[in-house]
Every structure is written in C-alpha cells, then in structure tokens.
C-alpha cells in the first residue's frame, strides 16, 4: 500500500469552512448519491416529522398523536430554540439570558456553561464572570439537576467537557465538579470510549484528585481499550498524565491499540500523540518511527503551528535528526519571512534546534529566532515554559549570544523569569537547573561589564516593566532625576571595585526580586535530585554499568551510580580516579546533557553522553562494546598509565 493511500485521513479542514457548512455539504452529498432505499428512509422520516408537527385537530391529520407526544415535542423544540439562542450570545449576555429564563433544562444549562468557557479567555472576562452572582446561581442549578435528574452518560460527558473549558475556579465550580464525578462513578459500563475520554480529560483538567474516580476510569478503559480510536487514546493518556497516574498494563494496552491503528491517524491525532508521548517520556520505538514517518512524508498537510509542535515533541523525545529539521524549516520558510509565527511557536522552534546533537551549525537562523523571541516576548502572550525554553536555548548557544549586542535583551529575559514566583512544575525546574549553574559557573562577558545604563540597572534588579528610560524622562521634577543619577553613579563606582567573574556573580545573584534567584536555585536543585533518584532502580543504568566494567576490566574502574560531582551536578555514572562522567541522554529527561557536560569539562572532568536510541540499536554485546570503546574509551587514559598510577 502506498503512503498516499494510507494517509487518506490526513486532510486538513479548511479554515474558511465551518462545521455547520461541513454538515450541509455532507448532507447534500449524501442525498445526491444515496440509493433509493436510503432515500425512502429519509422521506419516511421527513413525513413522520411533518405529521408530528401538524396538529390542527380537525381530523384531517394522518395520525392521531397523543397529548403526551405533542408535549414532548414542544419541550424538545423549546430546548432547541434556547440552545440556539445561547450560541448567539457571549460572556455576560449568557448570564443575562439565564436570569430571564430560569426554568431552562439541563441540556441548555450545559450549553450555557460551554459557551461561557469558550468566551471567558481574557483575564478581564474571567474576573467579570467569576464574580457574577448569576453564574453562581447557574452552577447551583446545574448541581441540583445532576443530583436529582439522573442524567445519562452522554449528558454527564458533555457537562464535564463544559466544566473543563472554564479556566478559573470558584467554590461552586469545585462542588459541581465533585458532584459530576460522583455521578460518573455510579454508572459502570455506561460510557463509550469517546464519552469516557471526554470526561476523563475534562475532570483531570479541573485538577480533581479523586482516587476512586481514577480507578473507575482505569477499569472502564481496560474494558473498552480495543474499541478506542486514536483521538480517544490520546485523550486518555493525557488525562492519566495530569492525574499523575501510571499503570504499565493499561498504558501498554493503549500504546498497542495506537500502534494497530497508526495508519488511521489524522494530522491532529499525530500531533496530539507525539505531544502526550513526549510529556510522558514514553519511548515506543515502532510507534514513534511510524508517526514520524507519517508526519515528515506529509508535512504539507499540517499547519505551521502543527509543524512546530511535531518538531518540539520529537526533539524532547531525542527522535529529531538534522535532515528532518531541515525539512520542517523548508516548509516554515514563508511563515518565518512573513513573521507569521507567534512568540510561543518561535520559542518552541528555537528550543528544538538547540536540542539537536551534533550542534546545529546555521548560526544565522539561530540568531534570527532568538532575536524574534527576545523582541516579542513582552508584546505577546507567552507562558513560563516558553520563557524558560528560550533561556535554555540561549545558554546552549552561549558562544553565540554572549555578546554586547544581545546583552540588554538577554538580561531582560533572565530578569523576567527570576522575577516570577517559583514554579512547581518539575520539567520547568529541570530546564532552569542548567541555566542557573551556567550563569553561576561559566564566564558570561555580558555580566562582567560594570558600565550599564539606567534601563539595564533596573532590568538586573528584576523590574518587570518595559522601559525605565521613559519613566525617567517623564519624572515630575528634575531634582529627583539628579538625585537618581547621583545614586546610579555611586552604584557604578561601587561595581568598579569588582571585576570579571566576581562582578558577574554579584549581578547574577541580583536577578529577580527580593532574592528570588536563590529560591529558584534551591527548587531547581531539589528537582534535579528527585529526577536523578529515579535511576536507582533503572535496569538500563545497571546494564550500562555492567557493560562498562566488562569492556574496560583491565583498567579496573570503580564506577559509582548517582554520584554528586563538583558539589553541584548529579551524574548517572562516575569514576573518581579518572574523573570520568557518563550520562545517558534519555527521553524522560527535560533536556540533553550538552550544557551540563560543557560546565563539567571546564571543571576538569571527562564527560560522556550516551544516546538512548543509539544504545537501543545495539543488538549484541559486541555492538555495545564497540559503542563504549568509541565514546568512553577516548576519555580514559591508557592501561599502562592507569596500572602505573595504581601501583
């Protein structure tokens, strides 16, 4: 089967064509091509519906409907009209409509919550809706209907999905979430794979930590895993990731199902699958190879944002090579020239290039991406992960950006990060761990200059404002400006007493606000310790130690796992006598070991990075020994010198 026939589902939906128009096109195509039997069924349905609508009561109607049927249809029509009315309203208008129509049913309430979640994206809209009494009344009414109305599985899934779209939290919203979870647990064997994945993803997005609910979803997943589609599998994996739950048997069954259905993945399914696999650090070679093959053979059908997302996920999985990176850049060339990528996408692309090993040598493109982000990150909405990704990439290319032309913007980026509250996300802290130690232990010329302008002084102090020069030019009195200038001169004369690396340490410690740099450093160090401790039970690391001892047995190496070297870095394997350091570049680590090993090399160690995928490709002991001889053997002294040193 050719690749084109396999990819018949990977067709992007036109942005100008709405879902309603798709339904219209599909209905028209079906009616035009339907056989006579299907046409008769359709006309029979239409005639029954028209006879149900006609209720003249004069005896001329073909059917004598009961009053109960007419009342049911009237209630259905009223509910449909109200749902249509809500879809045409936005934000506070929905709550006003609810205040005027307090007797709406549960389906209309669900539609109202869904629309509120879609419309309340800005901080102003969130504050307005969250503090609105009518919103709290709506949630209370929905909670009562869920408790007393005994809704079916489909309705519960829709309600959970609507709740998951709300990006804020109130006590009433948390109560409704708990009520929905309780109702869900009382309906075993009632949810289809689609509904199960929908409610699991929504409730996990609400950060509902209910062990009974997680166990219920796990059992239901095991029951229907053979019927899940790619989109459902992605949603279930993401839900369990957010819950922090991992069950090897269940995850293996989901991955096996995804592997069986890999040729049915749409473009969105491929992006979502790679993202969740990279978030989990799950390495399934065959599935990843097939997904990557489908993606790079059909890059033309992906949007620019999806291409960046694919590249970012594969880079985190250490599954990206230079040839694939060049293909993506060729497809993104027009978007880069037109400046069509957002700052967040630029950060992801910059980070992906930085994760390549060997180093990406097109420094002109590296400088262009960095400049785009450094110029835009204060003008666009970016999250902490995008800031930290760009910061790590700049540290990765230190030899490119440690120059005067980038000094002010690089300092501004670091100051903005360390001025924020300390993150609790371990991935962010793991990336920032190497940034912190690079700033402290490597020589940065941009931090070793004592003559800096007033704007740079405020940036170093951790100010998160955009321009201090504007503030000084619009100050109310010239006397205040003079006193401020005198203070700056004093500080500069104080800094001139410090030179070189000492001045750098002082300025780095001043990043952020109120000593926040030190708080970030402590949190990052704790995260690195937790991540390293997970290797104690790793069979891969134990296998590597055994192979190293066997391959270099004549050198009598004394290898120690999870060793702390240079009083700052924890390494997978260390040998103190030769200062050998061996780390496995595994996909479950946030970043590769390039920055870490660069610092260790300057401290006198001999670091070696073993590629996880290259080690997995070795099919025999001889291939593993050859790989170790090539990578580790170069760092070790000769046998004679080691034996002489030992004597």
pLDDT in tens, 219-235: 999 999 999 999 999 99
Q: How far apart are CA 365 and CA 350, in angstroms?
A: 9
Q: Write out the two tokens for 403.
A: 């120059």
Q: Say if residue 538's pLDDT is above 70.
A: yes
Contacts for 296-299: CB closer than 8 Å, 24+ residues apart: 296/324, 296/327, 297/3, 297/7, 298/3, 298/7, 298/10, 298/267, 299/327, 299/328, 299/331
For tokens 């067709």, the residue is 11
**Closest by alpha carbon to 48, among 73, 67, 82, 12?**
73
SS3 of residue 68 by DSSP: helix
Tell me how far CA of residue 225 lies from CA of 75, 198, 240, 478, in angstroms. 37, 15, 14, 73
Higher-pLDDT residue of 44 and 534 is 534
Contacts of 134 (CB under 8 A, 6+ apart): 95, 96, 98, 99
Q: Is the pLDDT of residue 61 over 60?
A: no
Q: What are the structural domains of the chain?
A: 538-646 (3.40.960)
DSSP per-residue codes, 123-188: HHHHHHHHT-HHHHHHHHHHHHHHHHH---HHHHHHHHHHHHT--S--HHHHHHHHHHHHHHHT-T
Decide if pLDDT at 75 tops 80. Answer: no
Cα 285 to Cα 163, 365, 617, 635, distances in angstroms: 36, 31, 10, 30
Instruction: Report, as an integer, the average pLDDT of 25-34.
Output: 36
pLDDT digits (tens, 9 = 90+) for 103-134: 788 888 888 888 888 888 888 888 888 888 98
- Kindly state the percentage of the chain with pLDDT values over 90: 59
CA distance 444 to 402: 6
**DSSP designation for 58:** S
- Tell me the pLDDT band of 553, cut-offs 50, 70 and 90: confident
Taking only the tens place, the pLDDT of each residue in 413-444 is 999 999 999 999 999 999 999 999 999 999 99
Sign of the dihedral through C-alpha 24, 26, 29, 33: negative
7: pLDDT confidence band, cut at 50, 70 and 90? very low
Q: How confident is the model at residue 104, as a pLDDT? A: 80
Condensed to tens digits (0 to 9), the pLDDT of residues 285-318 reads 899 999 999 999 999 999 999 999 999 999 999 9
Distance, CA of 158 to CA of 164 (rounded, Å): 10
Task: Provide the percentage of residues in the chain whose pLDDT is more than 70.
Answer: 77
SS3 call for 48: helix
What are the strands of the beta sheet with 606-611, ordered from one edge?
A: 560-565, 569-575, 580-585, 606-611
Alpha helix segments (H runs only) across 510-570: 516-533, 539-551
For 638, the token pair is 């000769």
> The tokens of 624 are what?
């593993």
Helix (H, G, I), strand (E, B) or coil at 248: helix
**How large is the angle between the packed helices 211-224 and 171-185, nearest 10 degrees?**
40
What are the tens digits of pLDDT across the range 481-527? 444 444 444 444 444 456 788 888 888 888 887 778 999 999 999 99
Q: What is the pLDDT of residue 81?
A: 66
What is the pLDDT at residue 247? 93
Q: Give long-range contacts, CB 8 A cutoff, 24+ apart: 209-216.
A: 209/243, 210/178, 210/181, 212/185, 213/181, 213/184, 213/185, 214/240, 214/243, 214/245, 216/184, 216/185, 216/188
Q: Position of tokens 């690195």?
A: 528
Q: Does residue 273 sit in helix, strand or coil?
A: helix
pLDDT tens-place string over residues 398-412 = 999 999 999 999 999
End-to-end CA distance of the chain: 66
The predicted-structure confidence for 236-286, as pLDDT tens digits, reads as follows 999 999 999 999 999 999 999 999 999 999 999 999 999 999 999 999 989
Tokens 């309430």 belong to: 109
> Rg (Cα) of the chain, in Å, rounded?
30
pTM for the structure as a whole: 0.80
């Amino acid at each position: 089967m050719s690749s084109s026939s396999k990819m018949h589902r990977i067709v992007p939906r036109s942005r100008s064509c709405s879902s309603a128009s798709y339904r219209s096109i599909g209905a028209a195509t079906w009616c035009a091509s339907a056989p006579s039997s299907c046409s008769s069924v359709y006309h029979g349905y239409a005639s029954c519906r028209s006879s149900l609508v006609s209720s003249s009561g004069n005896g001329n109607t073909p059917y004598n409907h009961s009053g109960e049927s007419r009342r049911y249809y009237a209630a259905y029509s009223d509910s449909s009209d109200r749902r249509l009315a809500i879809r045409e309203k936005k934000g506070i208008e929905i709550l006003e409509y609810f205040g005027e129509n307090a007797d709406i049913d549960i389906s209309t309430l669900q539609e109202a919550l869904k629309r509120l979640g879609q419309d309340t994206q800005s901080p102003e809209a969130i504050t307005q809706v969250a503090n609105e009494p009518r919103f709290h009344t709506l949630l209370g009414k929905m909670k009562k209907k869920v408790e007393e109305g005994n809704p079916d599985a489909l309705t519960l899934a829709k309600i959970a999905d609507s709740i998951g779209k709300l990006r804020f939290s109130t006590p009433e919203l948390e109560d409704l979430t708990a009520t929905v979870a309780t109702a869900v647990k009382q309906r075993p064997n009632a949810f289809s794979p689609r509904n199960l994945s929908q409610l699991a993803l929504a409730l996990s997005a609400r950060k509902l930590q209910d062990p009974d609910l997680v166990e219920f979803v796990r059992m239901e997943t095991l029951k229907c895993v053979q019927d899940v589609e790619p989109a459902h599998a992605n949603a279930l994996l993401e839900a369990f990731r957010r819950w922090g739950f991992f069950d090897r048997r269940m995850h293996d069954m989901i991955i096996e199902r995804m592997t069986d259905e890999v040729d049915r993945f749409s473009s969105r399914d491929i992006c979502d699958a790679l993202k969740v696999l990279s978030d989990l650090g799950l390495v399934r070679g065959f599935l990843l190879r097939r997904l990557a093959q489908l993606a790079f053979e059909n890059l033309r059908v992906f949007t620019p944002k999806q291409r960046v997302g694919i590249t970012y996920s594969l880079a985190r999985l250490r599954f990206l090579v230079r040839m694939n990176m060049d293909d993506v850049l060729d497809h993104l060339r027009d978007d880069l020239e037109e400046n069509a990528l957002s700052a967040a996408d630029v950060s992801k692309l910059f980070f992906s290039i930085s994760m390549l090993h060997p180093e990406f040598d097109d420094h002109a493109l590296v400088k262009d991406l960095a400049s785009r982000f450094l110029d835009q990150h204060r003008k666009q909405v970016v999250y902490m992960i995008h800031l930290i990704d760009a910061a790590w990439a700049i540290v990765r290319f230190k030899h490119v950006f440690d120059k005067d032309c980038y000094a002010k913007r690089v300092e501004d980026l670091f100051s903005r990060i360390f001025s924020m509250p300390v993150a609790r996300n371990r991935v962010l802290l793991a990336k920032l761990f190497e940034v912190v130690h690079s700033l402290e232990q490597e020589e940065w010329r941009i931090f070793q200059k004592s003559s800096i302008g007033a704007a740079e002084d405020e940036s170093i102090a951790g100010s998160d404002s955009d321009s201090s020069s504007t503030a000084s030019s619009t100050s109310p009195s010239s006397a205040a400006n003079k006193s401020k200038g005198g203070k700056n001169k004093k500080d500069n004369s104080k800094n001139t007493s410090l030179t070189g690396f000492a001045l750098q340490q002082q300025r780095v410690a001043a990043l952020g606000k109120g000593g926040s740099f030190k708080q970030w450093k402590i949190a990052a160090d704790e995260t690195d310790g937790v991540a390293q401790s997970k290797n104690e039970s790793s069979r891969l690391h134990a296998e590597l130690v055994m192979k190293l001892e066997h391959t270099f047995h004549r050198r009598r190496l004394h290898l120690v796992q999870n060793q702390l070297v240079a009083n700052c870095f924890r390494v997978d394997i260390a040998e103190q006598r030769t200062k050998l350091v061996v780390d496995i570049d595994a996909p479950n680590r946030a970043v590769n070991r390039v920055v870490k090993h660069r610092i260790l090399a300057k401290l006198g160690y001999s670091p070696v990075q073993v590629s996880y995928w290259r080690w997995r490709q070795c099919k025999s002991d001889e291939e593993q020994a050859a790989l170790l001889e090539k990578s580790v053997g170069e760092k070790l002294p000769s046998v004679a010198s080691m034996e002489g040193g030992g004597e």
